[in-house]
Structure formats: C-alpha cells, structure tokens
C-alpha cells in the first residue's frame, strides 16, 4: 500500500482517508476515493481480533462479497471490487450516507407509525429479493439498517447470510457458535441454529417493536437469560406499551414474533402488504433528512414505477 495525496493508496487506485469511519468485531470501514472512476467509496477491511489469520473469517468475509454483489437492489449497498492488501481481504463498496436506525431511535425515543412502517416496508422489499434468491440474512437489527437523507433505507452486513439448500455455504461459523445477535434472534435459531426466511421475519418483528416503543422485545443481564426469554416468554403487546399505535400494526408485530415459524406471516411480501398502508403522516426529522424541496431521484423513480400497474 502506497501513500496518496489524501492518505494511503490501495491497489494503486483507492485513496483512503486518514482514519476509519467505523470499527467492528470483524473489521474496519474506511472512506475512500476511487481515483480511476472518480467516485466516493467505502472500503471494508477484515480484522483478525487476535492478530492471527483466521481462515473461517476470511471465508465468511469473501462470501459476504459474493452474496452482497449478487443482490441487485437499491436497498443493498453495491459491491464494486474485492482484493487483499498486506494479507488482509477488503471489499470496495458503495458509500452510504445516513443514520443507523439504532441511533435514530435513541435520538427520537421512538418513531412514529409512519416512519416505523416506512423503514420496515423497505426492509421487506430487500428481504423479498434475498429470500427469492434463497438467502437468509440472519443478523437483521437496527444497527444494520441505515436511513439515508432522501428517506431510503439500506440493509447492511450480509456477512452472516446463509444460502438455503447450499451445503457449501451453510457452515460459515465455528462449530458450536450460533451466528446472530440474541436480542433479534428467532427461537429456532437459538434452539437449534436453524435459520429460514421466517427467522428474518422474526428479527424484523423485533426491529419494528423497537422502532415503535423505543425498547427491545426482551432484555436480560446475560445472553443465556435473553435467549431463554426469546424461546419461552410471550412479548408484551405493542398497543399495551403505546396505546396510540393502530391495532393492525400491533397485530403485524405480534404475528412476526410468533414462537413457531409456521405461525408467522407467509413471507416478506405479505408483511409489506400489511404495512404499506401505514406509510404516511411522517413527522419531521431535523438534521436527518434532506429538505422536502430537494428533489430525490430515488423517490421520483419509485413513484413513477409504482403507477405502472396501479
């Protein structure tokens, strides 16, 4: 890696910033500039926590690149390139601007029905494409959802995704480790490690509950205690916690949080259909969204497309 005008130059092409944009358990994300195509990018490097190369992590990281690149959807960041530098794999991705839904809920206390339904409906659109490709996200949570300034939502981190019916892609973590985040994991994931499209719907129910109430479905001091609640306890109803939420929305959340996968909605398309009518009456989000007077090409495109079969 050489030095560029603004910082390190990766592969003679990607000029990186002076500090990481974000750090996580698996890696670091840097803002970069593609000097060949003159565009802003995000570069995600794999990080080995112990400083020793982990072949399982490398395999998972590379599969994230293939999975994400294969999902052609405006709600999934585009993958532009991949490679290895100084022994560390990296992804070059579309640069996303916006706020994490977890931060948005923390700032607002909770979201209006309109905003919660809008975010969840867009996630349903992404899940529809992923599930059609027989991919299960497995780690859907507010921290993996970004609300962009034009109101669109990006679903991040398909690093834990699994391809149903593909034995070569089913084992992506160490034996005995259940992938995911316990606060958003379905009972069947916690009990047996089984993940299906209905597991993603359960996670969406957890996210929708949190957006509407400002609190997680279940909380506990330990991961074991949290898992026990997910498996055994009935969640408190949305309308009990926030009476002004329409009963129909409360029913959607309750259906998504059913303990048995077969008792949840049929698919993401059904959930979208039950939510889209509530995508209205948005409250202002100062500092989060562009002003309404600023044209949004995404909204223009979506509105025109929505009228094709209207």
- Report, as residue numbers or ranges, the catalytic residues: 139
Tokens read off for 126: 């992404």
| Among 81, 79, 62, 68, CA closest to 13 | 81
Q: Measuring CA to CA, which residue among 212, 215, 181 is closest to residue 199?
A: 181
Using the structure block, give the residue that is written with the tokens 């129909």.
248
The residue among 139, 191, 141, 136 whose CA lies nearest residue 166 is 136
DSSP state of 14: E
Rg, C-alpha atoms of the chain: 20
Percent helix, strand, coil in the chain, to 5, is 40, 15, 40
For residue 164, count CB atoms less than 10 angstroms from its CB and return exposed for 0-12, middle for 13-18, buried for 19 or more. Answer: middle
CA 117 centroid distance within chain: 15
Torsion over CA: 39, 152, 307, 134 (sign): positive
CA atoms within 13 A on the CB side of 90: 25
Which DSSP category does 217 fall into?
A: S
Q: Which residues pair with 14 in a beta bridge?
A: 10, 34
Helix locations, 71-166, DSSP H: 101-108, 113-132
Report the length, in residues, of the chain. Answer: 310
| Residue 33 tokens, joined | 């500039």
d(CA 254, CA 156): 25
């Amino acid at each position: 890696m050489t030095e560029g005008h603004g910082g390190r130059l990766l592969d003679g092409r990607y000029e990186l910033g002076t500090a990481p944009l974000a750090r996580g358990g698996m890696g670091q994300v840097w803002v970069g500039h593609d000097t060949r195509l003159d565009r802003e990018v995000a570069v995600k490097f794999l990080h080995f926590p112990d400083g020793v190369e982990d072949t399982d992590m490398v395999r998972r990281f590379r599969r994230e690149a293939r999975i994400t690149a294969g999902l052609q959807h405006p709600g999934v960041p585009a993958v532009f390139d991949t490679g290895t530098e100084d022994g560390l794999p990296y992804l070059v991705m579309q640069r996303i601007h916006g706020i994490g839904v977890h931060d948005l809920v923390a700032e607002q206390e909770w979201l209006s029905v309109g905003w919660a339904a809008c975010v969840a409906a867009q996630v349903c659109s992404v899940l529809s494409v992923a599930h059609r490709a027989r991919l299960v996200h497995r780690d859907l949570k507010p921290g993996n959802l970004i609300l962009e300034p034009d109101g669109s939502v990006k679903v991040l981190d398909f690093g834990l995704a699994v391809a149903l019916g593909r034995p070569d892609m089913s084992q992506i973590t160490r034996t005995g480790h259940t992938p995911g985040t316990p606060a958003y994991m379905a009972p069947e994931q916690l009990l047996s490690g089984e993940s299906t499209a209905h597991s993603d719907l359960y996670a969406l129910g957890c996210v929708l509950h949190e957006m509407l109430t400002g609190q997680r479905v279940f909380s506990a001091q330990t991961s074991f205690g949290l898992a026990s609640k997910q498996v055994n306890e009935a969640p408190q109803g949305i309308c009990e916690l926030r009476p002004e939420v329409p009963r129909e929305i409360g029913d959607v959340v309750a259906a998504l949080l059913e303990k048995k996968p077969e008792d949840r909605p049929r698919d993401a398309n059904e959930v979208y259909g039950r939510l889209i009518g509530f995508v209205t009456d948005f409250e202002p989000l100062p500092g989060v969204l562009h002003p309404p007077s600023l044209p949004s090409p995404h909204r223009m495109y979506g509105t025109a497309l929505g009228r094709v079969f209207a």
